[in-house]
Amino acid sequence: MKVNSRPTPATIEEGEAMATSNEITVIGPDTHIKGEMTFGSTARVLGTFEGTITAKGEVQVAEGATCRASIDAARVAVDGVVEGNVTAHEKLTLNQKARLKGDLVAPTLVVAEGAEFKGHVTVGGDATSANGRAPSAAEPKVVVPAADKAAAKK
C-alpha cells in the first residue's frame, strides 16, 4: 500500500474541493488488495480493492480503478468502477466515467452526464438513518451539474 500524506488535489475532478483533510491514503494503480480497510480521513483508490471500506472522510475511486466492495464513508466520489453497495453520510458523486453496480444511500447525490448506475437509490434528508430509507416527508436532494442544466433547456 502506498501512502501519500502531503497536501494534494483531493478530488478526482480538477478544481472541485471535497476533501477537508491533508492526509490522503492512496492505493496505487499497480496494487490489488482484498480485505477490510478503515480510514480516519481520505482514501483514494487507483488500483483494485475487494472487500469493505469504511472512512470517516472521503473515499475516491479514480478512473481506471476497480472497487468490488461495500463502501461506507462521509463522502464518496466515483470515476472508476464500483461493484457493491455504497453509503455516503454526506454526499455521493458519480462523475462522468463512473460505473456503479449496487445500491446507493446518501442525503445528497450528484450524477454527471455519462455516469452509469444499476441498483436501487435512497436519497434524502435522513437517507442514512438506521433503517437506510428516507422518510416520505424528506425532500430528496439531487444535484444536476451546470452543463447538464444547459443541455436540458434546449
pLDDT in tens, 47-78: 999 999 999 999 999 999 999 999 999 999 99
53 is in which domain, residue-wise? 2-153
pLDDT in tens, 102-146: 999 999 999 999 999 999 999 987 776 654 443 333 445 566 676
Report how far Cα 78 is from the mean position of its chain's Cα atoms.
5
Residue ranges of E strands in the chain: 2-4, 24-27, 32-39, 42-45, 48-61, 66-78, 81-83, 86-94, 99-101, 104-106, 108-111, 116-118, 121-123, 141-143
User: Where do the H-state alpha helices sit in the chain?
Assistant: 146-153
Domains: count for the chain: 1
The confidence score (pLDDT) of residue 124 equals 85
Decide if 64 contacts 47 (C-beta within 8 A).
no
